[in-house]
Structure 1
Amino acid sequence: MCRGSCQGAGRPDMTPVYPTAGSYPDFARLVDRDTAQVDRRVFSDEAVYQAELRQIFARAWLFLAHESQIPGPGDFIRTSMGEDDVIVVRQRDGSVKALLNSCPHRGNRVCMVDAGSKARGFICNYHGWSFGLDGGLRGTDGKVYEKDESFEKAQIGLTPVAQVASYKGLIFGTFDPEAPSLEEFLGDFTFYLDIMLDNEEGGTEFIGGAIRSEIDCNWKFPAENFVGDILHAFWTHQSGAQAILGGGVDLGKRYDELAFQASVYGHGIESNLDKVGNTRTLGYPELVDYMFDLSERAKARLGEVRARAIGAVSSATVFPNMSFLPGQNTFRVWHPRGPGKIELVSWTIVNKNAPERIKDLYRKGVMMTFSPGGVFEMDDGENWEYSTRVNQGFVTRQQPLHYALGLGSEDLERDLPGIVHKGSMNDANQRLFYTRWAEFMEHDNWADLQNGATAAPARPKAAAE
């Protein structure tokens, strides 16, 4: 575990001020669990969006970086937590800190680039104030602090993110010093994260840099799509799959009786358990052979169910805005940029111990399928943009959206962690995603958040296979 501090080194008397949670019961009621309906205003209303920035993005654990992106001291990347610009930087002692990328003098960025290595600190180009890797103020242009006796250097610095922690290579942060640990926030969903992160000795890494793009959609549409909407693939992506795999392919035939959806605290995964369905759509037979071999080797490590899901037609979202596709190996974050826009940042994630040839094929396959010009991403982006735009109509947004597919499909027999539903072609995980959204809007304390409707019964992981 790497964990940050609520106070930056070099400024022991300064306690950062973080936003306190409120309560928005009227917004929470925009999600009606009894009727499985969602009010369309959650996708367009500016007041709802501003509440999300406070209630969700200022409190939840958010993905920041992969350990492989900042391997050495001074290595850093720039990212976002909600709309807050953040620097994630490896310290000289090997720990990781996350700092607001905003000079405390006039608020300008102190880091303009997306990533770098072996940095000694950060300098604001407005007035020349410089800060160490820990965020502490190191100096100012003209040495103001030496000329002005009232200037207290130790009291000024970059605001640190309250908590920073990692899970098997993924670094997360939260602005809330009262938030539970990352392990508690993820809960038993780590069982499913390991499908991607721990299917082979050596762990994972990001390769090939990041792809950044903007989509004119509300951030919740892509998050809910990846949390469990396999239904759209059999229609939206049919032509793209045929172009890659050849004519006559029918994605619907890949549906498997073993398919399931599982959700914990609004984090969700769906899987067809067809072993290599996602991997096939990358278009490289070599990757299919690699995945079959990996699946067999992973049985002893993960058990039968998770081994089958490594390359299967599967998708997952960690609430609120981090998603990935096992088998297709695309890993992405949906950064909100207003109620009607997101910045999508995506990477290719691979096993560190995979052959270099396999890593390169994954990189090319992800570019072909899930990039701004990818055959699947263009399909999705258009749907999300139109959904966002159409929901803004005055009369249109008076009509609720229905999330009632698969009511009554909860699986009480399959011994998997979380709230489990039979099959994957239903709205079960989306319902739980929006229930979690409503919980964040309604509750101002973590006790209620962690004991709400999305809290899954704890089950022994050893019995989950």
Structure 2
Amino acid sequence: MAQASTMTRDRQSILSELPNFVNLDSYEIDRRIFWDKDLYALELERIFARCWNFIAHTSQIPEPGDFLTTVIGEDGVIVCRAEDGEVYAFLNSCTHRGNRVCFAEVGRARRFTCNFHGWSFGLDGSLASVSRPQLYDGNPTFDKAKLGLHQARVENYKGMYFATFDPDAPSLDEYLGDFRWYLDVILDNAEGGIEFIDGNIKSRLKCNWKFPAENFVGDAYHATWTHSSALIAMFGKAPTIHSDRSYQVNVNGHGWEFGLDFIGNAATLKSPEIVEYLREQEARFAERLGKVRSRMVGALSSANVFPNLSFLVGHNTFRTWNPRGPHETELHTWVYLNASAPETLKEHYRRGVMLTFSPAGLFEMDDGENFENCTSTNAGVVTRKQKLHFGMGIDSKIESESLKGNVYKSQLNEANQRAFYQRWADLMSSETWSDVPRR
């Protein structure tokens, strides 16, 4: 794990500069937000340590004792289902000398024991025992109740568990807001919800975490250009994105760009069995979600829950862009499907994701190269001073009776990317959650 950044410039001077980095009146973004180490240190504090971060799906930890290890920003975290059935998240760092407590990525445990001095912690993170406890007899500073692993707040939405280390953060429901209505396209289109397929893919990219996150929140513009050769190899031509039958929606920096073509993304998995399954379930999706949302289930689209949880419906992948400094990102990818879907579809989805959005996938290789080049060019002193333009679709906002949140016509737009960076700016410039506006 990379070492967390600390600020080298005076904190007040950094805070005074913040209003200059995102100027949506002129539709400009300052490139320094992708390169500056001091800004990155502030991101870890004001975004990752205070936002709700995705940590696990219930299918990954179904039984008491089941656990996995993950990260929030650059903080290592253990996520575990305890004996009481509740899910807890706590720092993966012993309260005695700070050693990493759990080195396994996933497993089942009765407790977590530090291999340095033998301090042992329960499934809820509480300090259960220490080696040679008599050494602490009569010591008033030794209070087991205060020496458990540092806890995060944990809440879940339809099986997706999120955590925050900020006690003053709004509830998860408030944080997600109307975006929950869109998440149901994935999480609640069938009885029983979704499940994650065992295992995940981890890879590293030499890029700032915001480039892939903003790409998924709203960049349909790149799809038929960047991925044209892959799409032509698959279908003989690149598909057309219909501006008049597609949308962008955003709420509090969370965003989804989508068409209503039903199987645009799913078709690229090159599995007739998956397309057949979706077609068979189409009427049931519409009955559960309504006609408009049912057309989103496998459509040409992408989305991001702020800050760094992205997903592709149809491809059925969730992914987190975990920062490893301002110039590197660790990508974690999971494949999911409806829990009620035939067992045989698991392998079709797994193979389809390997073909498209894995480190060797046809689409991910294209994207990764672009994300890395977008980052590395900003090493230049002169280059770094130039602004980036985010002005596509400035007059595209519409009122909609069938869609929630802020709605914009056409997925060929930068409205969601502007909302993403506005949320970034709001959080970075706010001392407390009460100062963060709802958008």
Band of TM-score, shorter chain: over 0.9
Is the contact between residue 426 and residue 437 of structure 2 (CA under 8 Å) also seen in structure 1? no
CA shift for structure 1 position 147:
4.8
Partner of 1:11: none
Partner of 1:365: 352
Q: Distance in 2 between matches of 1:450 and 1:294?
A: 40
Deviations 1:218-275 (A, max 9, x none): 0000100000101111111111122233x2x222x24252200000000000101111
Partner of 1:443: 430
Partner of 2:122: 132
Mapped pair 1:158 → 2:145? no
Letter of the 2:40 counterpart = Y
- Residues 281, 137 of structure 1: alpha-carbon distance in 2 compared, 3 angstrom cutoff: same
> Aligned residues, how many?
427
Is the contact between residue 254 and residue 277 of structure 1 (CA under 8 Å) also seen in structure 2? no
Which stretch shifts more, 317-326 or 255-264?
255-264
2:131 to 128, 141, 153: 141
Partner of 2:305: 318
Is the contact between residue 111 and residue 120 of structure 2 (CA under 8 Å) also seen in structure 1? yes
Q: Distance in 2 between matches of 1:394 and 1:360?
A: 48
2:421 to 434, 437, 458: 434
Deviations 1:372-397 (A, max 9, x none): 11111111111000000002211001
Q: CA RMSD in A?
A: 1.6
Mapped pair 1:31 → 2:19? no
Q: TM-score w.r.t. structure 2 length?
A: 0.94
Q: Distance in 2 between matches of 1:145 and 1:385?
A: 53
Partner of 1:330: 317
Q: Distance in 1 between matches of 2:212 and 2:242?
A: 22
Q: Secondary structure at the match of 1:65?
A: strand
Residue segments in structure 1 that go unaligned for 5+ positions in a row? 1-20, 456-465
Which stretch shifts more, 23-32 or 304-313?
23-32
CA shift for structure 1 position 146:
4.7
1:268 to 234, 249, 255: 255
Partner of 1:355: 342
Partner of 2:170: 180
Is the contact between residue 28 and residue 439 of structure 1 (CA under 8 Å) also seen in structure 2? no
Is the contact between residue 145 and residue 152 of structure 1 (CA under 8 Å) also seen in structure 2? no
Q: Secondary structure at the match of 2:175?
A: helix
Mapped pair 1:259 → 2:246? yes
Partner of 2:66: 75
Q: Secondary structure at the match of 2:200?
A: strand
Q: TM-score w.r.t. structure 1 length?
A: 0.89
Mapped pair 1:213 → 2:200? no
CA shift for structure 1 position 344:
0.5
Partner of 1:250: 238
Deviations 1:192-240 (A, max 9, x none): 1111111111100100311111111000001000001011111111111
Q: Distance in 2 between matches of 1:434 and 1:400?
A: 14
Deviations 1:401-431 (A, max 9, x none): 0000111111124541111110010111000
Q: Distance in 2 between matches of 1:144 and 1:272?
A: 66
Mapped pair 1:422 → 2:409? yes
Q: Secondary structure at the match of 1:335?
A: strand
Deviations 1:21-67 (A, max 9, x none): 99935224300010010000000000100010011011100000000
Is the contact between residue 195 and residue 310 of structure 1 (CA under 8 Å) also seen in structure 2? yes
Q: Secondary structure at the match of 2:360?
A: coil
Q: Distance in 2 between matches of 1:444 and 1:144?
A: 44
Q: Distance in 1 between matches of 2:134 and 2:49?
A: 33
Q: Distance in 1 between matches of 2:144 and 2:317?
A: 44
Partner of 2:3: none
Residue segments in structure 2 that go unaligned for 5+ positions in a row? 1-10
Partner of 1:462: none
Partner of 1:14: none
**Percentage identity across paired residues of the two chains:** 52
